[in-house]
Amino acid sequence: LEIVNIHDAGSTQAAFAVAVTSGSFYDYTVEEHSVKYLGLAHLTEHALFLGTESFPRRSGFDEFLADHGGSSNAYTAEEATVFFADLSAGAFEEGMERFADFFNAPLLDPLAVWEEVNAVNSEHAKNQQSPSWQTSRVMYSLASPSSPLQWFHTGDKATLARGGRDDLAAAIRAYFDENFC
How would you classify residue 37: left for phi > 0, otherwise alpha for psi between -120 and 50, otherwise beta? beta
Active site residues: 45, 116
Alpha carbon distances (Å) from 161 to 22, 56, 66: 22, 24, 31
Global pTM? 0.90
Judge residue 21's burial from the number of C-beta atoms within 10 Å of its C-beta, 0-12 exposed, 13-18 middle, 19 or more buried.
Answer: exposed
Shortest CA distance to 154 belongs to which of 180, 135, 175, 128?
128
Contacts of 132 (CB under 8 A, 6+ apart): none
Give pLDDT tens digits for 117-139.
999 999 988 888 899 989 988 98
Predicted confidence band of residue 1 (pLDDT cuts 50, 70, 90): low
Alpha carbon distances (Å) from 158 to 79, 165, 176: 23, 13, 21
pLDDT average, residue stretch 97-126: 95
Residue 30: its H or E element: none
Q: How far apart are CA 162 and CA 9, in angstroms?
A: 51
pLDDT of residue 31: 54
Other Cβ atoms within 10 Å of 6 Cβ, number = 7
Give pLDDT tens digits for 19-28.
999 999 888 6
